[in-house]
Amino acid sequence: METHMSKNRGEIYRALASIVGSSNVSDSSAVNITYGFDASPTPPSQPDFVVLPRDVLQIKHILELANRHRLPVTTLSGGVNVAGNAIPTQGGIVLDLKWMNKILEVNTDAAYVLIEPGVTYDELTAELAKKEFRCQIPTSPGGSSPLAQQLLNPSGSLVNRHQDSIIGLEVVLPNGEIIRTGSAAFSSSGFYLRYGPYPDLTGLFCCSYGTLGVITKASIRIYPVNEDIKLLVAAFDSFSSSVDFVKEVCRRNIAEHTIIWNRQLYKTYEIKSSADNRLEIPPVLYEDPRKSNPDIPYNVVTIHMSGFKEDMETHEKVIDKVATGCKGKLLKKDEREKLLLPAIKSWEKFYLQYHIPTMDQVKKYGLGRYVPWIVIGEPKDIVKIEKESIESMNELGLRPICYYSMPFDYGRAIFFRIFSYIDPRERETMGKVRELYLNMFDSAMRKYGVNPYRHRWGQSKLYQTGGYQLLLRSIKNLIDPNNIMNPGIGVF
Ligand SMILES: Cc1cc2nc3c(=O)[nH]c(=O)nc-3n(C[C@H](O)[C@H](O)[C@H](O)COP(=O)(O)OP(=O)(O)OC[C@H]3O[C@@H](n4cnc5c(N)ncnc54)[C@H](O)[C@@H]3O)c2cc1C
């Protein structure tokens, strides 16, 4: 992108400072470099300016300025995306929304909460708990943004029983115009209804990764905390049995959330990290992930559900029956503790207190746990993909190889994520891994028709989407003709 940056750097800095105040804008490399990378294999790139606005009008003025100077703008809410999507690959402005952190409305009547981008899961969960409500289970750390996470619909969001957790949005478009979607499009209405006037424009901004505008408010669905909350665990000796099980449980609407963990993953909870940030990995994780081990199950499935006590007792019996029917076994309390400590403690925190993960886990993730290859496909194909992807990763000598998978869209599809322990500081290995992942996408798309997940290193595949991407690019061109918003993401 041709920008006016080189000759106008000082002028742009002063203009930004006049909008947000000089203590809320940085052009210092020492600060800005921290915004230039994440744990993914995406090459680092630092922004020219980091700006921390406090309200929607400041954002409007920043976008107008950015448009005048054709400066790229990358928006951050929680800033813990681990898929390369928030790296300012073309420099420009990073808009960090952490100061916009108000819970604007907790509406227990219409069961929604209206939040700003900088609100964290921990803050929201604590506030909702006071009113005996909760939001959907997060699959990201307590410091991440529910607005950003639910907007992106990454792994966990879609397995919650209630989909489309975002209802309505306030968005600053790239030209500075402010719009609202859903019922709130009418200035006299609140944010209570997703499918308001005609086409669903909330959906246009979901999964848009900051390419179509800056989201400044979102209303998200909330649910009363139920009388009884349960975390069950079932064990299986093959991946295909656990896939059959989650399909059944989901389609029959028995549980709210299920995840399949392979043993290389559930045993990772035993990993220790040393003071110099190296990992101490238990030997069991170096076993060949394709071979079963008689002492521990090949996969376990966590099952989360809540409701009235009577309901939960019946549901537990049904889960037991379905697990047995799928050649599995619901684990009793003592079996769980014997097999799954310390994983079970962490899962209890996650499911029963809606909080993940501990700082220690975050540190491990940062050390490379999140360099994943992810696809979404039909259940029968995912079983073949599990086998082939383990083989491909084995060939590159990547061990231990962990994965989790979970049903999407009520079990019509399965989300499959596989990864290894790669230190993000080892750029050469990261390069090889990126190459491998691209080849794995090619193969899985050709043979099994999977969708690659929305990670930066799989996005070139989106150019294969024909009329879909053409329409999307026309829409983008209409609202962001200078392509300032997060350029380089997806087909933009
Ligand atoms: C330890 C760890 C574990 C995780 N585990 C999981 C997991 O199991 N499953 C999972 O799905 N995810 C997981 N995540 C990552 C999760 O994907 C992020 O939480 C999610 O991307 C939202 O992150 P965020 O709030 O930090 O958003 P950011 O990093 O701030 O932004 C994410 C993307 O959305 C865009 N964006 C953000 N805010 C706005 C806005 N207001 N307007 C417009 N665009 C915006 C950004 O430009 C970027 O492209 C994990 C992350 C960590 C660090």
Task: Report how far ligand 1's centroid is from the alpha carbon of 7 (Å).
Answer: 34
d(CA 410, CA 161): 8
In SS3 terms, the chain reads as: CCCCHHHHHHHHHHHHHHHHCHHHEECCHHHHHHHCCCCCCCCCCCCCEEECCCCHHHHHHHHHHHHHHCCCEEEECCCCCCCCCCCCCCCCEEEECCCCCCEEEEECCCCEEEECCCCCHHHHHHHHHHCCEECCCCCCCCCCCHHHHHHHCCCCHHHCCCCCCEEEEEEECCCCCEEECHHHHCCCCCCCCCCCCCCCHHHHHCCCCCCCCEEEEEEEECEECCCEEEEEEEEECCHHHHHHHHHHHHHCCCCCEEEEEEHHHHHHHHCEECCCCCEECCHHHHCCCCCCECCECCEEEEEEEEECHHHHHHHHHHHHHHHHHCCEEECCHHHHHHHHCCHHHHHHHHHHHCCCCCHHHHHHHHHHHCCCEEEEECHHHHHHHHHHHHHHHHHCCCCCEEEEEEEEHHHCEEEEEEEECCCCCCHHHHHHHHHHHHHHHHHHHHHHCCEECCCHHHHHHHHHCHHHHHHHHHHHHHHCCCCCECCCCCCC
Q: Give the torsion sign (CA, 385, 389, 390, 392).
A: positive
196-252 residue pLDDT tens: 899 999 999 998 999 999 999 999 999 999 999 999 999 999 999 999 999 999 888
Residue whose entry in the numeric block shows the structure tokens 């227990």: 108
Task: Report how far ligand 1's centroid is from the alpha carbon of 311 (Å).
Answer: 34
Task: Answer yes or no: is pLDDT of 424 > 90.
Answer: no
Q: How far is CA 335 from CA 191, 296, 300, in A?
A: 46, 11, 12
Model confidence at 176, pLDDT cuts 50, 70, 90, reads very high
Task: Report how far ligand 1's centroid is from the alpha carbon of 77 (Å).
Answer: 8
Task: Report how far ligand 1's centroid is from the alpha carbon of 82 (Å).
Answer: 7
Q: If you average pLDDT over every residue of the chain, what do you get?
A: 89
Model confidence at 158, pLDDT cuts 50, 70, 90, reads very low
Q: Which two tokens stand for residue 448?
A: 């099994």
Task: Answer yes or no: is pLDDT of 445 > 90.
Answer: yes
Is-contact 438 457, C-beta < 8 A? Answer: yes
**Ligand 1 atom nearest to CA at 144:** 25
Task: Report how far ligand 1's centroid is from the alpha carbon of 149 (Å).
Answer: 5
Question: Which residue among 115, 140, 415 has the greatest number of ligand 1 atoms within 8 angstroms of its CB, and so is best to mutate?
Answer: 140
Q: Whose CA is nearest to atom 8 of ligand 1?
A: 139
d(CA 391, CA 398): 10
**Ligand 1 atom nearest to CA at 74:** 47
Look at 378 and 264; give whichever has higher pLDDT.
378
Q: Which two tokens stand for residue 296?
A: 């521990």
Task: Report how far ligand 1's centroid is from the alpha carbon of 242 (Å).
Answer: 28
Mean pLDDT, rounded, for 467-479 = 96
Q: Which two tokens stand for residue 399?
A: 């061990």
pLDDT at 110: 97
pLDDT at 181: 97
pLDDT at 353: 73
- Residue 113, strand partner residues: 106, 220
Task: Report how far ligand 1's centroid is from the alpha carbon of 56 (Å).
Answer: 21
pLDDT at 74: 98
Task: Answer yes or no: is pLDDT of 462 > 90.
Answer: no
Look at 141 and 10; give whichever has higher pLDDT.
10
Q: Whose CA is nearest to atom 41 of ligand 1?
A: 215
Q: How far is CA 51 from CA 6, 81, 138, in A?
A: 18, 18, 27
Q: Whose CA is nearest to atom 43 of ligand 1?
A: 210
pLDDT at 164: 77
Residue whose entry in the numeric block shows the structure tokens 């090949």: 298
Model confidence at 159, pLDDT cuts 50, 70, 90, reads very low
Task: Report how far ligand 1's centroid is from the alpha carbon of 87 (Å).
Answer: 12
Burial per residue of 126-137, b for 16 or more beta-carbon CB atoms within 10 angstroms, e otherwise = ebbeeeebbbbb
36-85 residue pLDDT tens: 988 777 888 999 999 999 999 999 999 999 999 999 999 999 988 888 89
Question: Which residue among 82, 102, 480 has the greatest number of ligand 1 atoms within 8 angstroms of its CB, and so is best to mutate?
Answer: 82
pLDDT at 481: 97
d(CA 206, CA 201): 9
Under 8 Å CB-to-CB from 481, ≥6 apart: which residues?
none
Binding-site residues, ligand 1, Cβ < 6 A: 74-82, 85-86, 97, 117, 139-141, 144-145, 148-149, 152, 154-156, 209-210, 214-215, 362, 365, 486
Domain ranges of the chain: 5-96, 103-224, 228-450
pTM: 0.92
Question: Which residue among 73, 149, 206 has the greatest number of ligand 1 atoms within 8 angstroms of its CB, and so is best to mutate?
Answer: 149
Task: Report how far ligand 1's centroid is from the alpha carbon of 148 (Å).
Answer: 6
Least confident of 3-12, 54-63, 155-164, 282-291: 155-164
Mean pLDDT, rounded, for 259-275 = 85
**Ligand 1 atom nearest to CA at 155:** 11
Model confidence at 155, pLDDT cuts 50, 70, 90, reads low
d(CA 297, CA 318): 21
Mean pLDDT, rounded, for 147-163 = 67
CATH superfamily of 228-450: FAD-linked oxidases, C-terminal domain (3.40.462.10)
Q: Which two tokens stand for residue 26?
A: 């940085």
Question: Which residue among 77, 217, 356 has the greatest number of ligand 1 atoms within 8 angstroms of its CB, and so is best to mutate?
Answer: 77
Percentage of the chain exceeding pLDDT 70: 92
Domain covering 5-96 in this structure, CATH number: 3.30.43.10
Architecture, CATH, for domain 103-224: 2-Layer Sandwich (3.30)
pLDDT at 331: 97
Task: Report how far ligand 1's centroid is from the alpha carbon of 209 (Å).
Answer: 9
Mean pLDDT, rounded, for 254-267 = 89
Task: Report how far ligand 1's centroid is from the alpha carbon of 247 (Å).
Answer: 27
Percentage of the chain exceeding pLDDT 90: 64
379-394 residue pLDDT tens: 999 999 999 999 999 9
304-344 residue pLDDT tens: 999 999 999 999 999 999 999 999 999 999 999 999 988 89
Nearest to 368 by CA among 268, 261, 239: 268
Is-contact 400 467, C-beta < 8 A? Answer: no
Read off the amino acid at residue 212: L
pLDDT at 209: 93
**Ligand 1 atom nearest to CA at 362:** 1
Residue 201's Cβ-side half-sphere holds a number of Cα atoms within 13 Å equal to 18
Residue 175's Cβ-side half-sphere holds a number of Cα atoms within 13 Å equal to 8
Is-contact 317 283, C-beta < 8 A? Answer: no
Model confidence at 360, pLDDT cuts 50, 70, 90, reads low
